[in-house]
Structure 1
Amino acid sequence: MNNQTVAFIMAGRRQRRRRWVLVTVVLAVLSCALCMAMLLLGSTIYPVKDVIRTLMGEQIKGVSFAVNTIRLPRMLAGLFAGFAFGVAGSTFQTMLRNPLANPNVIGITSGSSAAAVFCITVLHTSGAVVSVASVIAGLATVLVIYVCSRGTSFAVGRLILVGIGVQAMLDAIISYLLLVGAQQDIPAALRWLSGSLNGSQMHELPPLVITVLICAPIIILLGKHLTVLELGEQSATSLGVNTDKTRIMLIVSSVCMIALATATTGPIAFVAFLSGPIAKRLVGVGFSFSNVIPSGLVGVILVLAGDLIGQFAFAVRYPVGIMTGILGAPYLIFLLIRMNRKGDF
């Protein structure tokens, strides 16, 4: 390899790094702007200085209650849930080398939702119990899907098909629980299923925040190994990656984030599905762990922007899950058609 070739490779690497930094900074700035908009906008629009003074601890009549009790918990729930959905969805898609292999499609969020609805309608519990049950159910769902799809050898296509079947079964269980549940429990259960930031409370957020702060760095640190896993089992092993250990750490971290996000906001439709492809299109390929942090930021933008649109763009207020579903459903159909034409199914 001559000096000219080395210089060409290094120049390409620097260009990809600059693009990654630029895109990530722009996504971070847009996320911050949406966070501020969540605090400023509502039935009453407050000045920026009043919101900042309130966040600093000063008591301002009317502003303090609206910002600290209603808008701040809503914004934080959207921020951390969106980041969790984005990172976890991108991790599954990259690790399994298939854009359909995300928690929404293969039934992981349905497992967490079923546990949450069961706790609400049958056990009449909420808060920490629902969060713990959602995490356990999410991990159990992953285990069941993996075991059922294993066969003589592991195949991503088989895993996706088994996941879709498990999701259908869990959706049927959810429908049954809603049918036999007490009338007073139905609104709370439907909140989980629609995917909404309405009614978010500050005391419900610590489990989600702590989980994201622990699990997201693990996935980011494993970003290089995640990129290698995309090359396939044999290639990753030959490059020195402990595939089983890496895959287990990535799956457990992703499922914990997905389960806690689902327990906090409900299964916000298609955020985990869309974040990875959008981030990959913006960032490009060839830079280590390039799709992890941008995917999380895209998830934040989708959730916060969807919530703002649902609140203020129409005469009737809609949950954020409906807005993201409107965006994600056509993309899913397009992706299925494209994959069918390429022979991926």
Structure 2
Amino acid sequence: MSGKDAGVKSGKGAGVKSGEGTGKDAKAGGARGRGVTAARRITAVRTKGGLSLRFDARATFVGLLLLAVALAAGIALIGSGDYPMTPGEVMATLTGGGDAGQQFIVQDLRLPRVLVGLLVGAAFGIAGAVFQTVSRNPLGSPDVLGFAQGSSVGALVVIVYFQGGTFAVAVGAVVGGVVTGLAIFLLAWKRGIHGYRFVLVGIGASAMLYAMVLYLMTKANIVEATRATTWMTGSLNGRDWDQVWPLAAVCAVLVPVVLLYGRPLRMLEMGDDAAYALGVRVDRVRLVALMAAVVLVASATAAAGPISFVALTAPQLARRLTRSPGPNLLPAALMGAVLLVAADWSSQRLFGADQLPVGVLTGVLGGGYLLWLLATERKAGRI
């Protein structure tokens, strides 16, 4: 081989290797840059006792922002009505000020309604996040999978056959929702609960339960049918402290339980095999989280009726805002509270003298969101 040829070959080889090395270095630098950017989003805090906490700065900021929006919307809702009040007057009344009339309007009439709205929205939001995480499907919502319909059947049985009062109807709704949840679990169980099987069984149960609702409506007289229709619409009208305290107790017990399972639920999104390898008891996590979510949905439905699409939209909107993987349980709960209170305020203020039940407004907006979601999933080739 001539020296020229050797030089050319050597130059070509060196050039190729040098180019490859440069490209690899650039890719590594880009990866390191992305790693630094991702690392900056995660903040670690070490306490004096040696406990280390890690949290996503963006998700924390979004959660605090949603909490502020929910409280602001609640204050605005308390101040709206036939006797309007400014935010300052509302805050003064809530802290013990105001005259006797303002105290009655705020403490006895409007505050319970707002608290029920916040609690119901939070319960639907966090339950929807659990269902969508376990099913690994954005359509895995309680009102799509039949749990809300099960609560409706339980409430209608009490109304039509027993002419029960408000408390009895609430108990019937809780029992109907829990029984429906157990039935869907049993039908979907086959060496564990698979996401798609769970969704398909839930959709089938929803169709059957809706048929039962129609049958019960045909058996009711005009008074019972009117009462049942009003309840099934979903509304916060006339809510008082009798609905606040039971729902608050359920949320106080079950929301922390669900939050404790936030990390295992996040691992479930990687698949059962990966979760098993990381030490997650998959079946136990699914069972506990789903049972807690079912009771939350049933209790929220008992307090305000089957308000649709909040559980479907809240988790997805929260995830889009936080841009964080995982179920985003707390942001989803706060987003649900914001959506429901804002929808209730809109239903009172945007339609003049004709106030709409909040379930009508969430149904219209949620239906539009569902159509958009289906079109997006179809375009992406996932359905």
TM-score, structure 1 as length reference: 0.91
Counterpart-to-counterpart distance in 1, 2:292 and 2:315 = 17
**Residue matched to 1:296:** 333
Match of 1:318 among 335, 350, 356: 356
The aligned amino acid for 2:262 is G
Instruction: Measure the CA separation in 1 of the matches of 2:338 and 2:273.
Output: 36
Aligned twin of 1:309: 346
Contact 2:116 2:243 in 1 (8 A): no
Q: What secondary structure does 1:54 align onto? A: helix
1:135–1:255 contact (8 Å) kept in structure 2: no
2:131 to 77, 87, 92: 92
Find the counterpart in structure 2 of residue 141 from structure 1: 180
* Cα distance, 1:342 vs structure 2: 4.2
**Shift of the alpha carbon at 1:260?**
0.4
Q: Report what 2:40 is aligned to.
A: 14
Partner of 1:220: 259
Q: Of residues 271, 278, 288 in structure 2, which corresponds to 1:239?
A: 278
CA distance in 1, matches of 2:191, 2:65: 46
- Contact kept? 1:195, 1:268, Cα under 8 Å: yes
Superposed CA offset, 1:190-230 (max 9, x none): 23211110111111221111111111111111111110011
Question: 1:174 is matched with which residue: 201, 213, 219?
Answer: 213
Match runs of 1:1-345 below 5 Å: 9=35, 11-15=37-41, 17-57=56-96, 60-150=99-189, 154-286=193-325, 291-315=328-352, 316-345=354-383
Q: Which amino acid aligns with 2:65?
A: V
Unmatched tracts of structure 2, length 5 or more: 1-27, 43-55
Matches of 1:166 and 1:323, distance apart in 2: 25
1:7 Cα offset (Å): 8.8
Would the alpha carbon gap of residues 7 and 218 (structure 1) be closer, same or farther in structure 2, given more than 3 Å must change?
farther
Q: Structure 2 vs 1, CA of residues 66 and 343 (structure 1 numbering), >3 Å: closer, same or farther?
A: same
Distance 1:248 1:154, change over 3 A: closer
CA distance in 1, matches of 2:96, 2:162: 38
Cα drift, residue 43 of structure 1: 1.1
Pick the structure with greater CA Rg: 2
Q: CA RMSD in A?
A: 2.4
Tell me which moved more, 270-279 or 321-330: 321-330
> For each residue in 1:55-74, what CA deviation from the matched residue of structure 2 results, as whole angstroms up to 9, or x when unmatched?
34457243222212221111
Structure 1 residues 148 and 344, CA, compared in 2 at 3 Å: closer, same or farther? farther
Aligned amino acid, residue 144 of structure 1 = A
Which whole-Å CA distance do the structure 2 matches of 1:165 and 1:11 have between them? 45
2:251–2:296 Cα contact (<8 Å) kept: yes
CA contact 1:79–1:304 (8 Å) conserved in 2: yes
For 1:105, what is the secondary structure of its paired residue?
Answer: helix
CA contact (8 A) 1:117 1:192 kept: no
Are the equivalent residues in 2 in contact too, given 1:20–1:290 (CA < 8 A)?
no
User: Secondary structure in 2 aligned to 1:275?
Assistant: helix
Distance 1:54 1:203 in 2: 21
